[in-house]
Amino acid sequence: MEFYQVVRTRRSVRKYKPDPVPKETLNRILEAVRIAPSGSNRQPWKFILITDPALKRKLATACHNQKFIAEAPIAIVALAQKLQINRGGYMGEMSTLMDTTIAFTHLVLAARAEALGTCWIGAFNNDEIKKLLNIPDEYYVVAVTPLGSPANGEKAFTETVDRKPLKEIVTENEF
């Protein structure tokens, strides 16, 4: 699929088929994550794949009861390592959150290119997820996504029209 078509048609999917994700497809998506750029090539991320149905239900509960997360064959939790760095001046150790969101964006776009759905989940209980998945203190939970085939197939990937025009978000040379 052509890149700009991927970008135009990536949507948040909230209904999934129970069909498993083929291993080769999953590996291509994870490879897109692996090669994502990061500051000083630190790659400060970990991604946890959750396939156990009971664990996915608990994860969905920790994500403010977003039950559809457990419908997908896989749920993915993205983690950023807490590093004592000062890249970006004011950002400090929080820059690893940015690096991880870049890798997570690679994941959602690669999934769309493979005709799979995702939904970027930012509403969750960080402490609850860390406890549930035995995540060490030196990591932040950055995002969660279900991953699987949309229940309504390609119809899930309609192009959005609900976006601001460029003139409202882009300026040149000054604010």
| Full-model pTM | 0.94
Residues 6-21 have a mean pLDDT of 96
The model's pLDDT over 33-52, given as tens digits with 9 standing for 90+, comes to 999 999 889 999 999 999 99
* Model pLDDT, residue 88: 61
DSSP character at residue 73: S
The model's pLDDT over 58-95, given as tens digits with 9 standing for 90+, comes to 999 999 999 999 999 999 999 999 987 766 666 677 88
| Mean of all residue pLDDT scores within the chain | 94
User: What is 3-161's CATH number?
Assistant: 3.40.109.10
Residues 16-36 have a mean pLDDT of 98
Q: How far apart are the C-alpha atoms of 145 and 113, rounded to whole Å?
A: 16
* Model pLDDT, residue 119: 98
Tokens of 161: 């029209």
Q: How far apart are the C-alpha atoms of 61 and 124, rounded to whole Å?
A: 9
